[in-house]
Amino acid sequence: MPLGKKASQYKLDDVTINMSMEEVLKETGEPPRREDMGTATSETGDTTHIVIWRYGNNESVTFVNGKVNDVDTDNEGTRKQLQHITDSAKAASGSN
């Protein structure tokens, strides 16, 4: 199963990449929690604004510049898989 994918309790299964915030609201209703991660500006002046909508303790939708960039229906599973990848890379390179 790919990173961050399992059956959603919050109707996130129908949320797709590049959907707008309004489209996601129509699918899921108001998220229980919103996190504004802020805006970064590149050396060329391009800006990137990231917002994460949290659904319960284990599901999220990440927006970049107002469009869906990621849907994760298993945040804990994703965190564990990424930690495993990091640990394996460290072990292979001999770093702590």
What pLDDT, in 10s, does the model give residues 46-73? 999 999 999 988 899 999 999 999 999 8
- Which architecture characterizes domain 12-93 according to CATH? 2-Layer Sandwich (3.30)
75-85 pLDDT tens trace:
888 888 888 89
| Residue 18, CA distances (Å) to 40, 58, 65 in order | 20, 21, 10
The 10s digit of each residue's pLDDT in 12-34 is 989 999 999 999 999 999 999 99
CA distance 58 to 10: 10
pTM of the model: 0.76
Q: Is 77 helix (H, G, I), strand (E, B) or coil?
A: helix
Whole-angstrom distance, CA of residue 82 vs CA of residue 35: 21
Cα separation, 79 vs 82, whole angstroms: 5
